[in-house]
Structure 1
Amino acid sequence: MMIAHSLRGEVFGPAQQLHGATYVVDATFRATDVDAAGIVVDIGCAMDQLKAVLADLTYRNLDDHAELTGVITTTEVLAKLVADRLADRAHAGLLGRPAAELDGIEVTLRESHIAWASYERGL
């Protein structure tokens, strides 16, 4: 996912200016056990849903994104947004397994091998 944004607040130093970021986005789905087919979720469905939740963020200036007005779009905040969107899709039955059978989702956004953030939530 490639985005542009600026981060408000002195703590962000030069990142207060408009800049770009490129993330590798990983989504991990957790369950207590595998289903009858031996999987946690259908990986094809998971990839399709991840692409769908990223579609309106990719190649966008997040400072101009209506859903993110007034939000400081840190890597952690974006990971939470993606996790929440995936959770909504899990509850809609779009992952090939009922959300009630899943324990949680973890989303990690990696800018590099030394800079990343994750957000984990239950279902």
Structure 2
Amino acid sequence: MYSLTVRDHMMVAHSFHGEVFGPAQRLHGATFVVDATFHRADLDADGLVVDIGLASTRLGEVLGELNYRNLDELPQFAGVNTSTEFLAKYVADQLVERVHDGGLGEGARGLSEISVTLGESHVAWASYRRAL
């Protein structure tokens, strides 16, 4: 299995509902390092997993919709705890949509899965992996 990872980051504000979150129930900021990894069994005709430039651009687009935003105010997150785990899945799902609509080029048709990892700090991160 081959893989290619691109990295970006986002800065958001959000709050959580539920006592388990303690002080994070209050509005707070978070900066995430975001790694998106594209997987495939065989390289495409050009010897690539996916076009690294397109992968970087599409990840930037997904994160750009969230960057410097209060996630509590976005309709797609109404009533949802936007935990690190939840956001990893959200970013992965958005990237999969871009694969399916051709936004990652023809070579992306051979991808088998995408995994996204959000690094919340140097000691904590969450990942989500999904098949295409």
**Would the TM-score normalized by the shorter structure come out above 0.5?**
yes
Structure 1 counterpart of 2:45: 36
Runs of at least 5 residues in structure 1 that lack an aligned partner in the other structure: none
Contact 1:3–1:61 under 8 Å retained in 2? yes
Task: Give me the whole-angstrom Cα distance separating, in 2, the residues matched to 1:22 and 1:68.
Answer: 18
Task: Give me the whole-angstrom Cα distance separating, in 1, the residues matched to 2:35 and 2:114.
Answer: 10
SS at match of 1:51: helix
Structure 1 counterpart of 2:6: none
Contact 2:30–2:120 under 8 Å retained in 1? yes
SS at match of 1:73: coil
The count of corresponding residues between Structure 1 and Structure 2 is 123
Runs of at least 5 residues in structure 2 that lack an aligned partner in the other structure: 1-9
1:105: how far off? 0.4
**Which structure has the highest strand share of the two?**
2
Task: Give me the whole-angstrom Cα distance separating, in 1, the residues matched to 2:38 and 2:59.
Answer: 12
Contact 2:92–2:116 under 8 Å retained in 1? yes
Aligned pairs for 1:99-110 (under 5 A) are 99-110=108-119
SS at match of 2:130: strand
| Structure 2 CA distance for partners of 1:40 and 1:97, relative to 1, 3 Å | farther
The answer on 1:26 being equivalent to 2:35 is: yes
1:80: how far off? 0.5
Aligned pairs for 1:109-120 (under 5 A) are 109-120=118-129
Contact 1:29–1:106 under 8 Å retained in 2? yes
Contact 1:42–1:97 under 8 Å retained in 2? no
- Root-mean-square deviation (Å): 1.0
Task: State the 4+ residue runs in structure 1 displaced beyond 4 angstroms.
Answer: none
Contact 2:50–2:107 under 8 Å retained in 1? no
Task: Find 1:87's aligned residue among 83, 90, 96.
Answer: 96
1:100: how far off? 3.8
Task: Give me the whole-angstrom Cα distance separating, in 2, the residues matched to 1:99 and 1:43.
Answer: 11
SS at match of 1:23: strand
SS at match of 1:71: coil
